[in-house]
Structure 1
Amino acid sequence: MPFQPRVAILVPAAGFADRWQPAFARKAAALTAAGLSVDQRVWTDPGDLAGHDLILPLFAWGYQRNVSAWYALLDRLEAEALPVVNRVPVLRWNSDKAYLADLADKGVAVVPTIDVAALDAAALADARRAFGTDELVIKPAISGGADGTHRIAPGGSIPADALGRRRLVQPLMPGVLATGEFSLFFFGGRYSHAIVKHPASGDFRVQEQFGGRETAWEANDAARALAAMALAAAPAPPVYARVDMVGDGAGRLHVMELELIEPSLFLHHAPDKGAAFARAVYAAV
């Protein structure tokens, strides 16, 4: 009987209903078709993982709401030398959006970002002067699914959940409203597919839970080059990756974030429906 590697996919704890299950089914089907055996383990209490040939944190949803448990898991995976993709140094680096400064230092065009230790009105005023715009977006440095992300209109006040807290401050990028947010997907370092996500009318967030919608998109050379440059700055080559980017007022693309932990991969938009994803995972065993 041929060797069938055993893979553990980390999934959410209670509180996320069943929203993750359709995407899990697509990923599991692709992995199974490639000859892998797939198990589920709740990321907050995964139990003994030593019997698995690979661990994938693909649905570690909610880690931004339980940061101490997330970092404790990363420490455990590293201490026990368990096989994880993406690798633990990549997961740890990608957990805090301070990595945007790393990308900028390496010449990657990123959304302009100011990291504020304790957000107040003076910090917002400083950011407006620095960015030359009155429209701002604030978000936690450790966040997911637009948790705690707010659009601050001219003269707007700081939401209670952000006042005095560490927040990233960015200009509202015109492109997200005009042309949407672009996501490019890479497996084993190779480009797979891309989508463009549009926010619902009156919103700026593109996530499905806020009414966002996505369509397939053919990434141009500039988008692919920017994505490749951003991924090259990671601590190690990621096995799976999503690069989100938006345009500025002149249409130039800027990286908004790298998704290297638990990204939605939109495999139903991939021409091969996930075969390249599965091959990249199998190759990492």
Structure 2
Amino acid sequence: MLSPNHLDMFVSYPGGPQYQQMLLGGTDRHEGQGLLLLFTLLIITFNMLLILLITTSAVLRQSTKHLLILNVAVGDLLMGVLVCPLLLDVSIRQKWIFSCHTHNTLMLFRTSLVPSVTCLGLFLINVFYIHRITSHHLYAPNKAEVIMPIVLGFVIWLLSIITLVPLYFGASSPRNSSSVLACTRVVSDETSAHLYVIFSYFPQLLCILASVILMVYVHLPGYLSRNLLFYGEHIQVPVDAISSIIITIALYTPYFILEFATIAYPCLTHRKCSLLHMVSHVAMWLVLAKSFLVPVCWLCCREIRQALKCLCCG
């Protein structure tokens, strides 16, 4: 969504800006295409590999943790198979040729649904880790329930959709009068727009931070005293989950803070709008980068490395 000030700035560029300029920021058009193609390949490759390893391993298919990781990977994969190809097509054609329904789907997935689902997935992974420690149940293959993480994965998608889709359409209205950006929606209700940005990320962020604090609280005393033993071995520090959380927060937070701020304080001059345009698209690149950096963290997990070794060795 754009404020009227932002949209007027985009339309007033010399020669008339095309939609990909708004999406790809200040990079050269061909450089932006190359970077976007690289991001697309990385997102699809790493997430498909992660999904393949989890679904083909009998051990990982019975692990609550890895079934929840699978849900996060599906969300990130959608950025590679849906969002990035559409952005790349816009960049190559220099115009939007699809329906406005497709445009709205693109915006919803890029700006809210995927961030919401993947963050809630990380939160659930933390919750199940805490459950393992506090209830003395294994958080490991062959001992976890299969149905529960699948149901929870469906629930977080459903919750995100029923919360964010109405807010998106309630906060914006179509700008059908623009010949350049015919499908672009502009902010029509500032309160709803703020709620849309807030519920896309910030409650999920608070849930993640609260679960991390609780993880440290229940894990650290036993780890330091070396008494945190289950089935004869120490529970390992979830380095993969911690790394994924750090990357997610670091790459998502700038984008959503900027989105929230620009709704309340839109740029008033062409120079300020140009600067905001450049900064906002650096933030967008960070959002896309998250979708291939996080699966790299999961691929460093010991159980997934073992599954990869078994897959390669037959």
Aligning the two structures, in what range does the TM-score lie when normalised by the shorter sequence?
under 0.3
Q: With structure 1 as the length reference, what TM-score do the two structures score?
A: 0.27
Q: With structure 2 as the length reference, what TM-score do the two structures score?
A: 0.25
When you count helix as a share of all residues, which structure comes out higher? 2
When you count strand as a share of all residues, which structure comes out higher? 1
Structure showing greater radius of gyration is 2
Q: Which has the higher contact order (CA 8 A, sep 6+)?
A: 2
